[in-house]
Amino acid sequence: MKKKKSIIIAVSAASLLCLAIAVYSAILPKKTSVDFFSMNTYITVSAEGKDSPAACEEIQKLVNNLDSGVLSRQSEESEISAINSGGGKMSEGMRRYISDMLGIYEASEGAFDFALGSVSDLWGFGNEPHLPADAEIKAALKKSGAGKISINGDEIAANGAVIDFGAAGKGIALDEIKSLLNSMKIKNAVVSVGGSILLYGEKDFTVGIRNPEGNPGSYIMTVSTPAAFVSTSGSYEQNFEENGKIYHHILNPETGYPVQNELVSVTVVSDNGLASDALSTACFVLGAEKGMKFAEKYGCEVIFVDSDKKVTVSDGIKDSVKLTDNSYSFAE
């Protein structure tokens, strides 16, 4: 009698084990990737988990709709085009984006200025870049700046300034993508929108920071981090040469001309996509010394690379940054 019972237990234990294996293989994560072009840049998605094929599809829809319907100045149907040509009521999303960007504009004392659209247009970046006449820059600058924007509840007026998401839109897209992934069964994901990346999931990630002098695939250091947003702004990203001088696309809001300082790239690590994108631009404008203090105030980590190939890293990620190109070294 006793013997019989133990056989039953053994059998049920074996079937349980089989069941466990079946369940385990059913929940083994799937991995799916997709690349596409949107927001004037290349976007790559790699996701792991049961919902990864759906996530890749949904992310494409989300980014295309956000670009053409909300953020893009090139799209006539976008919310920002309507705001720039007169103002009006903001959607809930737009209200949040503008309020966060105004906060960064004020805290950076105008270094991050998202209403320089008319000045950027004069330089023709993304189109036909060229050196504009000084008088044109001065005239456009007078009408520009986030300080011109007035907000009353959910009503906004740009008052002649042209709002531009060039320096924060990629981060905004990544914030929205993170919310989408939170609603799906996704274990890990890496999404890159131009120079901004979302690292999503429980594991530790390692990302390469691009070589300012090399081709887009080569990097000069790696950063290891748990889930975060990582954005890089660099003067190498969009530039042109005229009369023996190089002009790039990150503008000094005080002059309307490209920022001229010691920096070639700034990388910001943050738990917020908009902040990582906007602060990489703001810290570039501020320079390493002021930029370091500013990033600290925002609880972000930051890496500055200067034209002498010196690398300055904030304390919080010092041990996570490894230089992989021996022509670069840490600043003293």
Q: Are 323 and 311 in contact (CB under 8 A)?
A: yes
| Segment near Mg ion (CB under 5 A); pick from 80-88, 121-129, 274-282, 299-307 | 274-282
Distances (CA, A) of 155 to 27, 88, 106, 292: 47, 5, 20, 35
Measured from the CB atom, the residue of 47 and 71 that comes closer to Mg ion is 71
The rounded distance, in Å, linking the Cα atoms of 322 and 230 is 16
Residue 10 corresponds to which tokens in the numbers above?
A: 């053994």
Q: Is 116 in the site for ligand ADP (CB under 6 A)?
A: yes
Residue 324 corresponds to which tokens in the numbers above?
A: 């992989």
Interface residue with Mg ion, options 113, 277, 301, 306 (CB under 5 A)? 277
Interface residue with ligand ADP, options 118, 267, 281, 312 (CB under 6 A)? 281
Query: What are the respective helix, strand and coil percentages of the chain, to the nearest 5?
Result: 40, 25, 35
Measured from the CB atom, the residue of 237 and 306 that comes closer to Mg ion is 237
Q: Are 305 and 292 in contact (CB under 8 A)?
A: no
The rounded distance, in Å, linking the Cα atoms of 78 and 231 is 25
Q: Is 164 in the site for ligand ADP (CB under 6 A)?
A: yes
Interface residue with ligand ADP, options 49, 145, 195, 256 (CB under 6 A)? 195
Distances (CA, A) of 251 to 120, 140, 156, 178, 187: 8, 13, 25, 29, 39
For the CB of residue 275, give the shortest distance to Mg ion in the complex, in Å.
10
Residues 193-252 within binding reach of Mg ion (CB under 5 A):
233
Q: Is 112 in the site for ligand ADP (CB under 6 A)?
A: yes
Residue nearest to ligand ADP (CB): 166
Query: What are the φ and ψ backbone dihedral angles of 308, each rounded to 5 degrees?
Result: -90, 15
Distances (CA, A) of 301 to 10, 137, 267, 277, 312: 55, 34, 8, 12, 11
For the CB of residue 106, give the shortest distance to ligand ADP in the complex, in Å.
13
Q: According to DSSP H, which parts of 198-272 are helical?
A: none
Interface residue with Mg ion, options 280, 300, 301, 304 (CB under 5 A)? 280
Residues 158-187 within binding reach of Mg ion (CB under 5 A):
167
| Segment near ligand ADP (CB under 6 A); pick from 85-93, 109-117, 179-187, 297-305 | 109-117
| Segment near ligand ADP (CB under 6 A); pick from 46-54, 74-82, 278-286, 315-323 | 278-286
Q: Compute how many residues bind ligand ADP; rule: CB under 6 A.
A: 21
Q: Is 272 in the site for Mg ion (CB under 5 A)?
A: no
Residue 182 corresponds to which tokens in the numbers above?
A: 């939170």
Give the bridge partners for 232, in sequence order: 267
Q: Is 43 in the site for Mg ion (CB under 5 A)?
A: no
Measured from the CB atom, the residue of 48 and 301 that comes closer to ligand ADP is 301
SS3 132: coil
Question: What residues make contact with Mg ion under the rule CB under 5 A?
Answer: 167, 233, 277, 280-281
Interacting residue ranges for ligand ADP, rule: CB under 6 A? 112-114, 116, 120, 125, 164, 166-167, 194-195, 233, 237, 249-251, 253, 277, 280-281, 285
